[in-house]
Chain A
């Protein structure tokens, strides 16, 4: 391998001469061997972004080649890990350098000493294709880790295969052509892993959030963006989805965000239980924490590293959810590197290839038939942090061109402490139609009808509110006053959902449906009553209406709801 020399250092960017490295190859800069990546070649100079702080690096220091691009190590032992943006386990870094991250540390992404029990699923003489399983490892109690022939290799007939306890470096199988297979392989993070075929997203990804599942649902293998100004609830939403989504594996990428948020997550996940399995959430999670104060180049890489691990578990046939908080910080990392490279800037200083990079990223999502034969999916939920909360900026706009679900956060709702602050008029889901049959079949035939009724009421409410701002609500006809009241109920009793309430943080489909149905029932009673000439004041002050507000806070809500509905029936019958 060649050894080059540093020519120039300015911030995270280094120029070096005397290298033969290719684009995106990993190189080690300086006496300390700082992890770096070639991001440009011009004349005899290599332009290198350094994943670590460059303070103190001097011209003349060596630059060593590694001969390979930035890769992720894929094998058992990834789950429960907490990594920085280049797949270095943070607890390992703490062991080596203490509570503050120091430089020049090289750590494997997975443990190479630990022995795992490998159980072959193929036998001598079987012909295996790339991506096909040759064996299994029980990585976590409920996660069976499939050991696959690495994609883009040749595969072939099995010459030898051994069951037993091995490290990830030890050979577990040998192919006829002499290729040795271990439980680990490496994959360049910037390359999408291949699948046999992408499938249509026809199954909803249950989140337990009423506004999401009920109004703007995400499909398994789908993509969603959640843009919003600071403090509007992006992180809480992503953490909530990571907790309750019905997926097998969660990849949480904290990309240029807060250290304390990561501490919070790492504190909670081992304690909280997966509602589907009762096991600690941490067992199905992989966390990347490249916080805002950690090097920007590693921040840029974190999205790819996270994506690669998500695809790896997808290839085993699992449903994976990757949340990225925040894709804007990732885009800013690109902008920062781009401006130091003195590239011609595009809109607002972002590089001209911003849109292309975002597209490449979201295109890696999807439900697919995997090489191994089964089906798996990667869904992406990307937070966007628009400057000044203004959605016309380039990152939001380029993202909206790619994603199918748009959860528009609204700071007006935040100021009212209406959470999740997802605006019900501006948001949309393009999976709407394709998922409807599933809900009809699996939850209720009225699911879609009720959803449309509720959305229409909210739409009408928005129009009426404009009139109210001019004349006051008392001037409206009585049925319209009822509409205002029902809209208020949908907003406060149904759309609002506290992520911190022990019960309400997760709402099953059935409960979502029953609660909305109850509100619509009130509406029907109320309209009947108006027809009969009963006053709005009487209608809106039936005690059962307020009782309905608190049903969602109950875990065993069904008997309570039944009681409230019976009470409502009696109260309306008694109105004169």
Chain B
């Protein structure tokens, strides 16, 4: 029986200050009892005189009479293979009416850093069936690729479509989906759960739900629990894990709130100076380890406040993740789904997952060429709006038309349309074939001779 303290000196926002304790470890798990109610917290600052605790379930209902006990251990997540198929709260308690997880192992949720020398280079192509991803921003296993979106845009639909369709070519391997909700509305959560149920995905999913009306501090735990689970499934049970978390913006708001409560010197726009490091600790828990079968691929979703990509949340995320998929309000207004703007989108691991032996040898060249003319066509739209389309040169007119067709045929696709990478490349070639061959400056002649529809169809005849 651990000793209980009733020496709270101050309660301030999510923080509790406790005096005259035994030596308490930094980051130690703390239990706080008020009447029959049990809350959990974590030590943020420990000295001889005073201990500062952040309380995950909120400090509502706590008083100076509340009893504090220090567990002598950091926070650990109970794990067993039975966790697959469960719906848990944002702090890891059953939310589906099922029993508590009977642990086979307990893991520190802080997660140690993967030794960079033990990492395997990610290079297995994942086909999502979505052209703007597979064709131009290819996802590979072990990558962290966030979706940068805005309020009211269909990022959830895209995430679900990816979760449904994602597969490695030509292999059937065991895989799992982890879904972490942080501060999303009940309605959004239901949308995810209903889709998981409809497609049977729930059976191989683990769901963590922290909803909008759940305590904000709990959100600091949620991704850590999800990622600890992911590491267990991937590196103990050899599964390929796809982890989707939404919405990182809410997570960062919680960080800011904690920082303010601790009266820290704020960094940009009031977010803590250590937010880069904190986010990196989450995002870097993606990857593959040499000699182990499983992998962790991350799909964080974040909504950019005011659609501003320079806001600290998308900005710091972009500096850590291996690319980003940008959802565009403009394309959404034009009725294009998925409204992915490829220009600011990027997959940094694309190169290692495409080409001969992965997708097809012409993939890189086709993608580069599509990018170049789509970007140029977009610039020309501005010019055409000023001087009129007629004033454009013949070449520029072609490029302008290319950009329009690119959006309608390459970007746009159905919510259930699962395109193979070869379908995607074919659409790309069909669009490029409308341009004079001399304009295809980024494609090697040998690929043109082999894949350009003009020669390909001639070859068939």
Within 8 A of A (CB), among B205-252: 235
Chain B proximity of A552: nearest CB distance (Å): 11
Interface 1/0 per residue, A471-505 and B, CB below 8 Å: 11111000000000000000010000000100000
Instruction: Check A474 against B393 for contact (C-beta < 8 Å).
Output: yes
Complex CA distance for A543 and B437, rounded to whole angstroms: 11
Within 8 A of A (CB), among B40-91: 44-48, 74
Taking a contact as CB atoms closer than 8 A, the residue among A54, A256, A475 that contacts B26 in the complex is A54
Chain A proximity of B432: nearest CB distance (Å): 15
Q: Of all chain B residues, which has the CB nearest A14?
A: B26
A259 within 8 A of B: yes
- Chain A residues within 8 Å of B178, by CB: none
Chain B proximity of A130: nearest CB distance (Å): 35
- Chain B residues within 8 Å of A229, by CB: 315, 318
Complex CA distance for A100 and B322, rounded to whole angstroms: 21
- Chain B residues within 8 Å of A58, by CB: 23-26, 46
Among the 9-residue stretches A288-296, A305-313, A434-442, the one with 4 or more Cβ atoms under 8 Å from chain B is: A288-296
A426 within 8 A of B: no
A574 within 8 A of B: no
A349 within 8 A of B: yes
Instruction: Check B116 against A263 for contact (C-beta < 8 Å).
Output: yes
Instruction: Check A549 against B322 for contact (C-beta < 8 Å).
Output: no
Taking a contact as CB atoms closer than 8 A, the residue among A9, A99, A500, A553 that contacts B114 in the complex is A99
A425 within 8 A of B: no
Instruction: Check A349 against B273 for contact (C-beta < 8 Å).
Output: yes
Looking at B267, B268, B292, the one whose CB has the most chain A CB atoms below 10 A away is B267
Given the known interface contacts A7-B48, A8-B46, the answer about A99 and B115 at a Cβ–Cβ threshold of 8 Å is yes
B287 within 8 A of A: yes
Instruction: Check B441 against A339 for contact (C-beta < 8 Å).
Output: no
Chain B proximity of A13: nearest CB distance (Å): 10
Complex CA distance for A492 and B368, rounded to whole angstroms: 13
Instruction: Check A55 against B387 for contact (C-beta < 8 Å).
Output: no
Q: Of all chain A residues, which has the CB nearest B118?
A: A99
Instruction: Check B387 against A99 for contact (C-beta < 8 Å).
Output: no
Instruction: Check B277 against A9 for contact (C-beta < 8 Å).
Output: no
Instruction: Check A296 against B277 for contact (C-beta < 8 Å).
Output: yes
A56 within 8 A of B: yes
How large, as a class, is the contact surface on chain A? Answer: 35 or more
Interface SS, B side: mixed
Complex CA distance for A57 and B383, rounded to whole angstroms: 63
- Chain B residues within 8 Å of A289, by CB: 116-117
Complex CA distance for A415 and B368, rounded to whole angstroms: 11
A433 within 8 A of B: no
A381 within 8 A of B: no
- Chain A residues within 8 Å of B382, by CB: 469
Interface 1/0 per residue, B109-131 and A, CB below 8 Å: 01111111111111000000000
Complex CA distance for A11 and B273, rounded to whole angstroms: 13
Chain A proximity of B84: nearest CB distance (Å): 22
Instruction: Check A543 against B371 for contact (C-beta < 8 Å).
Output: no
Instruction: Check A417 against B48 for contact (C-beta < 8 Å).
Output: no
Within 8 A of B (CB), among A403-422: 411, 414-417
B433 within 8 A of A: no
Among the 9-residue stretches B92-100, B157-165, B343-351, B407-415, the one with 4 or more Cβ atoms under 8 Å from chain A is: B343-351
Q: Of all chain A residues, which has the CB nearest B117?
A: A90
Among the 9-residue stretches A150-158, A213-221, A385-393, A510-518, the one with 4 or more Cβ atoms under 8 Å from chain B is: A385-393
Complex CA distance for A101 and B289, rounded to whole angstroms: 13
What is the size, in residues, of chain B's interface with A at 8 Å between Cβ atoms? 82
Chain A proximity of B47: nearest CB distance (Å): 3
Q: Of all chain A residues, which has the CB nearest B21?
A: A59
Q: Of all chain B residues, which has the CB nearest A58?
A: B23
Within 8 A of B (CB), among A36-81: 53-61
Complex CA distance for A97 and B113, rounded to whole angstroms: 12
B284 within 8 A of A: yes
B455 within 8 A of A: no
Within 8 A of A (CB), among B284-331: 284-287, 289-290, 292, 310-312, 315, 318-320, 322-324
Instruction: Check A56 against B119 for contact (C-beta < 8 Å).
Output: no
Complex CA distance for A55 and B46, rounded to whole angstroms: 11
B265 within 8 A of A: yes
Chain A proximity of B57: nearest CB distance (Å): 21
Chain B proximity of A231: nearest CB distance (Å): 5
Q: Of all chain A residues, which has the CB nearest B267?
A: A349
Given the known interface contacts A339-B264, A387-B312, A417-B372, the answer about A59 and B343 at a Cβ–Cβ threshold of 8 Å is no
Interface 1/0 per residue, B388-418 and A, CB below 8 Å: 0001110010000000000000000000000
Taking a contact as CB atoms closer than 8 A, the residue among A10, A61, A91 that contacts B44 in the complex is A10
Chain B proximity of A538: nearest CB distance (Å): 13
Chain B proximity of A510: nearest CB distance (Å): 23
Complex CA distance for A474 and B323, rounded to whole angstroms: 38
B274 within 8 A of A: yes
Q: Of all chain B residues, which has the CB nearest A266?
A: B117
Interface 1/0 per residue, A153-181 and B, CB below 8 Å: 00000000000000000000000000000
Instruction: Check A60 against B121 for contact (C-beta < 8 Å).
Output: no
Instruction: Check A59 against B47 for contact (C-beta < 8 Å).
Output: yes
Chain A proximity of B393: nearest CB distance (Å): 6
Taking a contact as CB atoms closer than 8 A, the residue among B118, B284, B346 that contacts A293 in the complex is B284
Instruction: Check A469 against B386 for contact (C-beta < 8 Å).
Output: yes
- Chain B residues within 8 Å of A411, by CB: 344
- Chain A residues within 8 Å of B277, by CB: 256, 292-293, 296, 332, 336
- Chain A residues within 8 Å of B25, by CB: 9, 55-58
Instruction: Check B113 against A291 for contact (C-beta < 8 Å).
Output: yes
Complex CA distance for A11 and B444, rounded to whole angstroms: 54
Interface 1/0 per residue, A101-112 and B, CB below 8 Å: 110000000000
- Chain A residues within 8 Å of B265, by CB: 339, 342, 345, 349
Instruction: Check B287 against A260 for contact (C-beta < 8 Å).
Output: yes
Chain A proximity of B383: nearest CB distance (Å): 6
A571 within 8 A of B: no
Which residues of B come within 8 Å of A, CB atoms?
23-28, 44-48, 74, 108, 110-122, 142-143, 235, 264-268, 273-274, 276-277, 280-281, 284-287, 289-290, 292, 310-312, 315, 318-320, 322-324, 343-344, 346, 348-349, 351-352, 364, 368, 371-372, 375-376, 382-383, 386-387, 391-393, 396, 438, 441, 444-445
Sample of 14 more A-B contacts, CB < 8 Å, known A94-B118, A387-B312: A8-B47, A8-B48, A9-B46, A10-B44, A58-B25, A82-B117, A99-B235, A100-B113, A101-B115, A260-B286, A260-B287, A296-B274, A332-B273, A348-B267
> Can you name 7 A-B residue pairings with CB atoms under 8 Å?
A93-B117, A100-B114, A101-B113, A254-B116, A336-B274, A348-B268, A546-B438
Which residues of A come within 8 Å of B, CB atoms?
7-11, 15, 53-61, 82, 90-91, 93-94, 97-102, 229-231, 254, 256, 258-260, 262-264, 266-267, 289, 291-294, 296, 329, 332, 335-336, 339, 342, 345, 348-349, 385, 387-390, 411, 414-417, 468-475, 492, 500, 541, 543, 546, 549-550, 553
Closest A-B pairs by Cβ, 9 of them:
A292-B280, A388-B310, A8-B47, A230-B318, A100-B112, A293-B284, A263-B119, A90-B117, A55-B27
